Structure 1
Amino acid sequence: MATMTQSIRRSAIGLGLFAIITGGTIAFTHALTEERIAEQAARAEARALFEIIPESAHNNDMLRDTLILPASDRLSTKGPVTVWVARQNGQPVGMIMPVIAPDGYSGRIRLLVGIDLAGTLLGVRVISHNETPGLGDKIETRKSDWIKNFEGRSLGNPKPRQWSVKTNGGAFDQFTGATITPRAVVKAVERSLV
């Protein structure tokens, strides 16, 4: 009986040491890479901003010309958000704001939505998502041009009832086998225009 207790004790100690070493390694790796990951995310966000409103369309430092908006149910944001303002010779020509599509197939889809002063969409880009590879991830520009279909649209183009995917009688295509993702993005973009 004593040898069985000793064996269990040895196994428990070994397992505990393994857990401590593994947890420490993960925490150390996280600490080493956290800043680099944040820098890469900021670069990706800046690239998306300049895809929506190219530098040729404004002459201000859009990355520094920002406004802070409070949390908004319409944008599905939980806290204050940064809005980037594009200006030409000091006059606003457009803005880009973060929007969340909370009802993607695999969770929240973070978007950047650019709108000009007339309420016309300048562009939409996906910043992050967890959609199914090969299906829902076609919302990314590197996978398809689907997201570019929003450019030039407004609340009146298409008509309000058509701000949906085609299977629901709307104007926007969906993906074969992945209707939930495009439906969520279309709803979120429409909400940002209201």
Structure 2
Amino acid sequence: MGKKLESSFKNMVLVLFLVTLVSSAAVGVVNSLTSGLIEKVKIEKQVQAIRAVVPAFDNDPMTEKQIVEVDGGKLEFYPAKANGQLVGTAIKTFTNNGFSGLVELMVGFTPDGNVYNYSVLSHKETPGLGSKMDAWFVKGAKGDITGKTPGSQGLQVSKDGGDVDAITAATISSRAFLDAVNRAAKALAESAK
């Protein structure tokens, strides 16, 4: 057996330094191996969201992306075209007013400004309450927003005088969801001017 190191401050610092060096190198290697895959999955999720929120198209909206700065953040516009004609616009939008902060959506609009569909990209809302936004506002559901035009007033929950039913026991999350939709609709209307 080899000689045992003496338990001194110098030796403890040296061992701690070596453990930290090896650990950080391992984390760096894992990060470099997975970063490309993570980015690829993120892009694919975004492409699927675009396909889900606008009518069928034959162009590549990702290559025609436009960025618009609004309210201290950036909205991403993805024009969807069929045979060279605009059939809809997918907008990656956000709100910071969720019960648990940031909510990101992909909202699809028809050329006349009606909501075609939406997809929730990310949120940290309460499971079983605010997290129901994934299915609450879809076509045929109680809070259905499809086919509605936000207009100058924007969409509002019925509690605030609007005509959209809020998620039961999750009014804050519902307001936040509609805030993100309204932000996208307003930016789309302003870009058309």
TM-score tier by shorter-chain length is 0.7 to 0.9
Deviations 1:81-136 (A, max 9, x none): 54221223322121111111122223222211111121101112111223333333
Q: State the match for 1:160 in structure 2.
A: 153
Does residue 77 (structure 1) correspond to residue 70 (structure 2)? The answer is no
Q: Percent identity?
A: 28
CA distance, structure 1, for counterparts of residue 177 and residue 108 of structure 2: 14
Q: Name stretches of at least 5 consecutive residues in structure 2 with no aligned partner.
A: 1-5, 139-143, 187-193
Q: How high is the TM-score relative to the length of structure 2?
A: 0.76
Aligned residue identity for 1:47: Q
Shift of 1:180: 2.4
Could you tell me how far 1:177 is from its partner in structure 2?
A: 4.5
CA positional deviation for 1:192: 1.9
Query: Which deviates further from its counterpart, 111-120 or 170-179?
Result: 170-179
Q: Distance in 2 between matches of 1:31 and 1:93?
A: 39
Q: Find the partner of 2:61 among 60, 63, 68.
A: 63
Closer/same/farther in 2, CA of residues 136 and 30 from structure 1, 3 Å limit: farther
1:112 corresponds in structure 2 to 106
CA–CA distance in structure 1, aligned partners of residues 9 and 129 of structure 2:
48
- Contact kept, 8 Å, 1:65 with 1:86, in 2: the verdict is no
Count of aligned pairs between the two proteins: 176
Aligned partners of 1:108 and 1:51: how far apart in 2? 22
TM-score, normalised with respect to structure 1: 0.76
Q: Secondary structure at the match of 1:71?
A: strand
| Structure 1 segments of 4+ aligned residues over 6 angstroms from their partners | none
In 2, are the aligned partners of 1:119 and 1:193 still within 8 Å (CA)? Answer: yes
Amino acid corresponding to residue 14 of structure 1 in structure 2: V
In structure 2, what residue type is equivalent to 1:68?
Answer: Q
2:119 aligned with 1:125: yes
Distance 1:180-1:20 versus aligned 2 partners, 3 A rule = farther
Q: Structure 1: which 5+ residue stretches go unaligned?
A: none
Instruction: Please state if 1:180 is matched with 2:172.
Output: yes
Assess if the C-alpha contact under 8 Å between 2:65 and 2:76 holds in 1: yes
Aligned-residue CA RMSD (Å): 2.6
Judge conservation of contact 1:125–1:147 (CA < 8 Å) in 2: no
1:45 shift after superposition: 0.9
**1:176 CA displacement:** 4.3
- Aligned residue for 1:192? 184
Describe the shift of the 1:25–1:130 C-alpha distance in structure 2 as closer, same or farther (beyond 3 A). Answer: farther
Match of 1:28 in 2: 29
Separation (CA, whole Å) in 2 of partners of 1:174 and 1:20: 52
CA distance in 2, matches of 1:183, 1:29: 40
- Who is 2:191 aligned against? none
